[in-house]
Amino acid sequence: MDFSDVNRLLKEDLSRVEKAIRKYYQSDIPLIPGISGYLMNGGGKRIRPLLLLLVAKLHGRAIDDRVITHCCVVEYIHAATLLHDDVVDETTVRRGNETVNSKWGSDASILVGDFLISRGILLLAEDCDPNIIRAIAGATKVLVEGGILEFTEARNLQVSDQHCLDVIRRKTASILAVSCELGALLANANDDQQNAVVSFGKEFGMAFQLMDDAMDYDSDEDVLGKPPGMDFKEGHVTLPLLHLYTKAGRSLKKEIESFVKNPNLTAKEFEYILERMREKKSIEYTLDLARDHMERGKRHLKTADFPCPEYIEALEAVADYTIDRHIAARPCP
């Protein structure tokens, strides 16, 4: 089974998720559905709802309107964080399209992000399951803390590997893990089952973001949906850059320090750093760490008994797709 098989398997369910997403962001204020539709139709893979659906099915849970609604909640929270992140980072391109803050301005991006969060809260309130509310609220708190942690150490090369991994754990893995947790809670999973899928989601999230961090340096624009090197140009000290810095000699360290402080880096400077990363195997280091996290995640799925274990193969296919996304950029002539 591969990722295309998973999409075919969930075709009808994902179609229902799309319809519900469009339904719930409607408003009599035209800017809200206008921006929400632009963002939601921007080419995302719906990984978070997809994980929720697969975990629910793994536990034998029928995909009814309640499950679909909770898919919308996790996607709205994710979409809101994208809107807010793009403002903080002044990002102009995402998934091959102009970002909302670039097209409509930062104010509109922040406010519509707030709307999506509030819409998700209202959907939770209408269901009113305290365990689910607690899980979502806790994950969202950790996610926001991750964004603040990243912001407070922006352009700081003195951070540790553990800092980079902590940002990933909070900012990315939290929402992917809670997507799996919601699938289990909606199916009344036992503790062993819930622990297994949440642990899978955490490791999946770590691997997912590490792959993104590596690909931001070493992948083609048509794969990324944005120009490579955006993290570098925005001053984000992610694991590939930190690894290079720790392995660099004194001269290269000084160059990296000057690049990180410069908001107007050129393509030539990015290519120079990319070549140094290849020499020091910083990309491969990050990719290997992503693979290790994903393998640990897959092993967690074998630690509990599930009513419909055939869906483990589908979850593993999504995991393999996440790792296999990396296609190295062609070296410069």
Could you report the per-residue pLDDT of 216-274, keeping only the tens digit for each?
Answer: 999 877 777 777 888 888 888 999 999 999 999 999 999 999 999 988 888 899 999 99
Question: Residue 252 domain-assigned?
Answer: yes
In this prediction, residue 328 carries a pLDDT of 57
Q: How many CA atoms lie within 13 A of 326 on its CB side?
A: 23
Question: Residue 65 domain-assigned?
Answer: yes
Question: Residue 333 domain-assigned?
Answer: no
**Residue 290 structural domain:** 3-324
CATH number at residue 42: 1.10.600.10
Question: Residue 329 domain-assigned?
Answer: no
In this prediction, residue 329 carries a pLDDT of 57
Mean pLDDT of 17-30: 97
- Number of folded domains that form the chain: 1
Question: Residue 331 domain-assigned?
Answer: no
SS (H, E, C) 165-189: HHHHHHHHHHHHHHHHHHHHHHCCC
- Contact between 241 and 232 under an 8 Å Cβ cutoff? The reply is yes
Q: How many CA atoms lie within 13 A of 331 on its CB side?
A: 6
Q: Is pTM beyond 0.75 here? A: yes
Question: Residue 8 domain-assigned?
Answer: yes
Write the DSSP symbol of residue 330. P
Question: Residue 332 domain-assigned?
Answer: no
Question: Residue 235 domain-assigned?
Answer: yes
Mean pLDDT of 310-328: 91
In this prediction, residue 73 carries a pLDDT of 98
